[in-house]
Structure 1
């Protein structure tokens, strides 16, 4: 089942349960998917594009959560955190720090990277192979640490 169909089913479930936070989150995801489809016109929307949308939305909510927490607005921070958790349910299983490090070591070996100068080559490969499984910031930090 495509992400769009899964989201539509989840929206129906949230409506029946009268779960306002889930409904708002899911409608935002659906809106972004429809926007992507409109921009793509006749082209098919890929799973990678859908994952990128979800990751961007999670990152936006995490940033908002951090800002609200820093400002002492816990009421708004809780809403952002709840929405973030709902959206994360549709992402592939995220790699743990140990799993990410193991994957990065494999990628570094495959690319033949030896120093921080090869970071671009490692990041290009890692971004493609780990898309949806880890966020770019974690990938970058791990790559820098391993190449230093």
Structure 2
């Protein structure tokens, strides 16, 4: 079952369970999936990689919003955002720990043969594709700078 189908099934399950937070989060994800499908001709089902990009973007936006709400002393709104992020994370692959990220980036650096910051673009190109969905782009970039710098 594709991720898109799992999300559709999750929407139905959330309706039956009357789980408003889960229902809202999954409907929001479904909206972005439908928008992506209608952007190109003849797309009947979005590949899982594209759905993962959408879900990780929504999770990151939710986390950022929760931080803003917390800073504005609105814990009620922050809790709601974090609850929706938890729903998105159920569908995302497990995030890499800092040690795992370091090991993966070191492997990419060795594979590409990079030795200086001048080659950061080459490393980032390979690392971003390989670690998509498992690590945030900023974290990857910071780790590459640390290891090449």
Per the alignment, in what secondary structure is the counterpart of residue 92 of structure 2? coil
* 4+ runs deviating over 3 angstroms: none
Once the two structures are TM-superposed, the CA of residue 144 in structure 1 deviates from its matched residue by: 0.8
Aligned residues: 148
TM normalised by structure 1 equals 0.96
User: RMSD of the TM alignment (CA)?
Assistant: 1.0
Of 42-51 and 74-83, the range deviating more from structure 2 = 42-51
| 1:20, distance to aligned residue in structure 2 (A) | 0.5
The whole-number CA distance in structure 1 between the counterparts of 2:40 and 2:138 is 27
Displacement of 1:87 after TM fit?
Answer: 0.5
In structure 1, C-alpha distance between the alignment counterparts of 2:66 and 2:16, rounded to whole Å = 27
Aligned counterparts of 2:35 and 2:72: Cα–Cα separation in 1: 32
How far off its partner does 1:58 sit? 0.7
- The answer for unaligned runs of 5 or more in structure 1 is none
Question: What's 2:13 paired with?
Answer: 13
- Scaled by the length of structure 2, the TM-score of the pair is 0.95
**Equivalent residue number for residue 68 of structure 1:** 69
- State the shift of 1:39 in Å: 0.5
Equivalent runs, 1:19-98 vs 2, <5 Å: 19-43=19-43, 45-98=46-99
SS of alignment partner, residue 113 of structure 1: coil
| Matches of 1:34 and 1:94, distance apart in 2 | 26
C-alpha deviation, 1:46, in angstroms? 2.2
- Asked if the contact 2:4–2:48 (Cα under 8 Å) also holds between the matched residues in 1, the reply is no
Task: Return the offset for 1:47.
Answer: 2.0
Q: CA deviation at 1:118?
A: 1.2
Alignment partner of 1:117 is 2:113: no
Gaps of 5+ in 2: none
2:102 corresponding residue in structure 1: 101
